[in-house]
Structure formats: structure tokens, C-alpha cells
């Protein structure tokens, strides 16, 4: 079994996850690489 994780969700001083602690335990990572726009209704 291979473990995959979504990582890189932090932005500036706002930290959502502990990516560096998780890295030794996973085989693959999906890295967030951009801006997720908000759609205001």
C-alpha cells in the first residue's frame, strides 16, 4: 500500500498542517501550488 497526502496548504504565517512531520510517513504528496479563488455570492 502507498500513502498519499495533500500538502502545502499553508499561506504565509497561516499554517494549516505539519507537512515536515508528515513527510517521512508518506510515499507521495499532492502539493498545493497556487491561489484558490473565492467565489462570493
Cα torsion through 15, 5, 39, 41, rounded to 10 = -90
Q: Are 40 and 17 in contact (CB under 8 A)?
A: no
- What does the pLDDT average to over 16-20? 79
Compute the mean pLDDT over every residue in the chain, rounded to the nearest whole number: 78
Model confidence at 16, pLDDT cuts 50, 70, 90, reads confident
pTM of the predicted protein model: 0.55
**In angstroms, how far apart are the furthest CA atoms of the chain?**
42
Model confidence at 25, pLDDT cuts 50, 70, 90, reads very high
Region class of 25: left (phi > 0), else alpha (psi between -120 and 50), else beta: alpha
Amino acid at each position: 500500500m502507498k500513502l498519499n497526502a495533500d500538502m502545502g496548504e499553508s499561506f504565509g504565517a497561516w499554517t494549516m498542517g505539519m507537512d515536515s512531520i508528515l513527510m517521512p510517513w508518506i510515499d507521495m504528496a499532492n502539493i498545493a501550488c497556487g491561489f484558490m479563488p473565492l467565489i462570493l455570492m
